[in-house]
Chain A
Amino acid sequence: MLVLTRKPEQSLRLGDTITVTVLAIEGDRVKLGIEAPRTVSVLRQELFVQIQAANAAAAAAVQPNLSDVAAVLRRQAPTIAGAPTP
């Protein structure tokens, strides 16, 4: 991991097109501004890891479970209002 220290208002340049700026430091939080092409996704690391793990889990699940999952889904009716996940 490359380690650099920046003060507020200072920036880092990643490649030719990505700039990360320290906008402010507030207590234990650092506010960062990211300028990047819209083709580059910027995600909180935790969310990236969650999606990556969900993709890997989907790949692991297919072999043993396919017909059982199909049978269960066939009996499932969609929820009316789409209750958010508890």
Chain B
Amino acid sequence: MSATLASTTVESHADSETLIVFPNGLVGQPDWKRFVLMTPEEDGTIQVLQSVEQAELALMVTNPMQIIANYSVPLSREERAVLQLEADEQPTVLCTISIHSNLITTNLVGPLVVNSRNGLGTQVVVLDSPYSTRHPVAALGAQE
């Protein structure tokens, strides 16, 4: 299926696109609530959260464990309750990607945590994180 992604048409490789709802929006962006998680690349290396409310709003996200193998996000009881996670359920964690001076960086301090069963999500701020909001991943256009 294809959908308009921030004015570019993108083929999504997922069978269906998952609706993700952040009831409280994202940090500093309280209106950014309803997204579809799209998988434009076959191997899912990178995904895109496309807003279903604002056509021009989309975020590149990736699984942080592709970058830091043992990355994990401790969740408080309140955070688990917002996501309606069952006691034995583990959430999906996605970190946003941005580009600074031709460097791909990811925000490891403010991961997006999603209950894949019901699509509820929240942005968690890791207060004692050893990482940064611009953790370097690779140079854009880096050659092997």
Chain A residues within CB distance 8 Å of chain B: 38-39, 41, 43, 47-63, 65-70, 72-76, 78-82, 84-85
Contacts and interface: CB of A to CB of B under 8 A. Distances in A.
Contacts of A38: 76, 78
Interface residues of B, number: 59
Contacts, number: 147
A49 B69 contact: no
Can you list the 10 inter-chain pairs with the closest CB atoms, starting with the nearest? A52-B28, A84-B130, A58-B96, A57-B98, A82-B68, A78-B69, A51-B110, A51-B27, A54-B133, A54-B107
A78 B65 contact: yes
Interface in B110-125: 110, 123, 125
B3 interface: no
Contacts of A57: 98-100
From B66, B68, B137, name the one whose CB has the most chain A CB atoms within 10 angstroms.
B68
